[in-house]
């Protein structure tokens, strides 16, 4: 058994460690959350009930909820440096910490209960416990986003490879959705290059239809073409099309390297309420 003092505030994490060492440097700790009242606790090896001996009171039982297990560096009593936190639900974070929060480079895994294994969800930059900076997010359906983040949302330049239909988008994001200039390449070789707003085609853009060699150029509204021109027999060499719009490497990388193929006017959007 291990003895530790729990916080008097309900829900405040308290540390029970294998070694009662100074809270600086490398250390192994287990996190718990108190659900009843403050006491001096003795932790049994396998139980979710702690024996409690209060100051001047009789022994009592106190329920607790496991938050997770941390192994890594500490500074002034908080996680600081490099460490691994395994959460009670089986999820895992491994990487850098600053003053008790995930900050710097780190990888986050999700516990897949169905397959009984860890699945990598995010690898990249963190700031104050949020995805912030450059990183890759792996979706459960096989989709993958590579690009910039701000406050846990896709923000700035990024690339999404969609697992459902193997289409590829590379361009600008805002508030977790496609907004700004971007290129969408479909698995059949069709491609849209133009502007987006709130995840829909909006503003000037061009759509190339590979099968018919036609190209639409004009305005888009709410994801649909409006007020434009269709060009027949668009002069686009088949081999060039394969390299520019196809998927030579099987992962959409060929199309991504040819982002912003068309010259379009610069556009800025403003919303009025």
- pLDDT score at 28: 58
Same domain? For 77 and 189 the reply is no
Radius of gyration over every alpha carbon of the chain, rounded to an integer in angstroms: 27
Same domain? For 151 and 261 the reply is yes
For 65-81, the pLDDT digits (tens) are: 567 889 999 988 889 99
Average pLDDT, integer, range 49-55? 36
Same domain? For 51 and 143 the reply is no
Q: From CA 146, how far away is CA 193, in angstroms rounded?
A: 19
Average pLDDT, integer, range 61-66? 50
Cβ atoms 168, 184 nearer than 8 A: yes
Q: From CA 124, how far away is CA 134, in angstroms rounded?
A: 6
In a domain, 273, yes or no: no
For 219-240, the pLDDT digits (tens) are: 999 999 998 898 887 754 443 4
In a domain, 272, yes or no: no
pTM summary value = 0.70
- Average pLDDT of the chain is 75
- Domain of residue 27, residue span: 1-88
In a domain, 114, yes or no: no
Same domain? For 192 and 255 the reply is yes
State percent of the chain over pLDDT 70. 61
Instruction: Go through 155-175 and write b for each residue having 16 or more CB atoms within 10 A of its CB, e for each that does not.
Output: bebbbbbbeeebbbbbbbbbe
């Amino acid at each position: 058994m291990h003895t530790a003092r729990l916080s008097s505030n309900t829900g405040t994490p308290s540390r029970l460690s294998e070694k009662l060492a100074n809270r600086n440097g490398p250390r192994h700790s287990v996190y718990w959350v108190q659900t009843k009242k403050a006491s001096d606790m003795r932790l049994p090896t396998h139980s979710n009930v702690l024996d409690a001996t209060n100051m001047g009171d009789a022994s009592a039982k106190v329920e607790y909820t496991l938050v997770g297990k941390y192994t890594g560096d500490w500074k002034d009593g908080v996680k600081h440096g490099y460490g691994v936190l395994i959460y009670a639900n089986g999820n895992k974070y491994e990487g850098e910490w600053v003053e008790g929060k995930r900050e710097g480079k780190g990888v986050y895994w999700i516990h897949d209960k169905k397959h009984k294994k860890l699945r990598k969800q995010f690898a990249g930059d963190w700031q104050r416990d949020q995805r912030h900076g450059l990183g890759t997010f792996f979706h459960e359906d096989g989709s993958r986003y590579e690009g910039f983040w701000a406050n846990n949302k896709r923000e700035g330049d990024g690339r999404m490879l969609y697992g459902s239909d193997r289409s590829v988008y590379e361009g600008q994001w805002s508030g977790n959705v496609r907004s700004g200039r971007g290129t969408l390449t479909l698995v059949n070789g069709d491609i849209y290059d133009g502007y987006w707003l709130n995840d829909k085609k909006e503003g000037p853009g061009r759509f190339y239809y590979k099968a018919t060699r036609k190209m639409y150029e004009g305005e888009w509204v709410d994801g649909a073409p409006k007020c434009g021109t269709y060009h027949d027999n668009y002069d686009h060499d088949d081999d060039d099309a394969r390299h520019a719009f196809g998927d030579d490497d099987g992962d959409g990388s060929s199309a991504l390297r040819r982002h912003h193929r068309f010259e379009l006017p610069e556009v800025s959007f403003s919303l009025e309420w």
